[in-house]
Amino acid sequence: MVRPTYGAVLLAAGKGSRMNTETPKQYLPVNGRPILYYSLAVLEASDVDQIVLVVGDGEEEWVREEVVERFGFRKVSAIVQGGKERSHSVHNGLGALRGVDYVLIHDGARPCIDVPMVKRVMEAVEDCKACVVGMPMKDTVKIVDGDNTVVDTPNRDRVWGVQTPQAFDYLMIKGAYEAYMERGGQPVTDDAMVLEHMTDCRVKVIEGSYRNVKVTTPEDLKLVEEFLQGR
Ligand code: CTP
Ligand code: MG
């Protein structure tokens, strides 16, 4: 059997407003290397064939020189510009992949992924066409109304916090994003949500890691610094 081909869209076009640093958070140094380096290194070491980096306006040269060339990454096939919302950045990234069967979409601000996790995602997506990594919530989740009054408490066994990578059949997610953009792109908070709105494809949740945090606010930096020791 012919092995399927895998692309990855690695997102680094955000401004990091909640981190509030001059340098966008995905480029901040952790243990001497930019945060973006760590997930790129894992994707490079995995069986992913081709990686598209999505970066902010004017960041292309810096990323090429200081991340891709400096560390000798060889699977980066394109560095493209992102858009205003994360979904626009994903849409641009999907458009730059060529001839892949599946795609993994990953936040450059989540540096603590590992090769076994990427492998789990790749195996799962061949079965189910759409899968996301996540972990069961540790806290009880409350659904509140506009006045912060609790209206529901979902059974915690069924509540997962989802992370990235999220992996999809390439043509299916590309089609879903095209349709979503044509309809004006109402806000979404992950890629699976685009698929949930635009198709009836079922999305599988598989095991990620409690270490797979998204660097969002300053306290997250200390955490990932510890998790990434020795890489
Ligand atoms: N991202 C992107 N393009 C955007 C917005 C976000 O590529 N227009 C990327 C970020 O670089 C990050 C990932 O999507 O790797 C997750 O987004 P988030 O954590 O929200 O990052 P920011 O949008 O940069 O941060 P904030 O929401 O605090 O401004
Ligand atoms: Mg954001």
Q: How many residues does the chain have?
A: 231
Read off the pLDDT of residues 95-124 as tens digits, 9 standing for 90 and up.
999 999 999 999 999 999 999 999 999 999
Count of Cβ atoms closer than 10 Å to residue 22 Cβ: 6
**pLDDT band, very low/low/confident/very high, at 37 (cuts 50, 70, 90):** very high
**Angle of CA points 78, 118, 56, to nearest 5°:** 35
| pLDDT average, residue stretch 116-135 | 98
Q: Is 10 in the pocket of ligand 1 (CB under 6 A)?
A: no
Per the prediction, the chain carries an average pLDDT of: 97
pLDDT average, residue stretch 49-63: 98
Could you list the beta-strand ranges (E) of 13-138.
29-30, 33-34, 50-55, 76-81, 102-107, 130-136
pLDDT band at 75 (very low <50, low <70, confident <90, very high): very high
Q: 15 pLDDT exceeds 90?
A: yes
Predicted confidence (pLDDT) per residue in 206-228, tens digit: 999 999 999 999 999 999 999 99
Which one, of 135, 123, 140, 104, lies nearest residue 211 by Cα? Answer: 135
Cβ 28 under 6 angstroms from ligand 1: no
Best residue among 86, 106, 189, 219 to mutate for probing ligand 1's pocket (most ligand atoms within 8 Å of CB) is 86
* pLDDT at residue 89 tops 90: yes
Q: Is the beta carbon of 185 within 6 A of some atom in ligand 1? A: no
pLDDT in tens, 155-208: 998 999 999 999 999 999 999 999 999 998 788 999 999 999 999 999 999 999
Q: Has residue 1 got a pLDDT over 80?
A: no
pLDDT on residue 185 = 77
Cβ contact 50:98 at 8 Å: yes
- Residue 61 — very low, low, confident or very high, per pLDDT cuts 50/70/90? very high
Q: Which atom belonging to ligand 1 lies closest to the Cα atom of 216?
A: 19
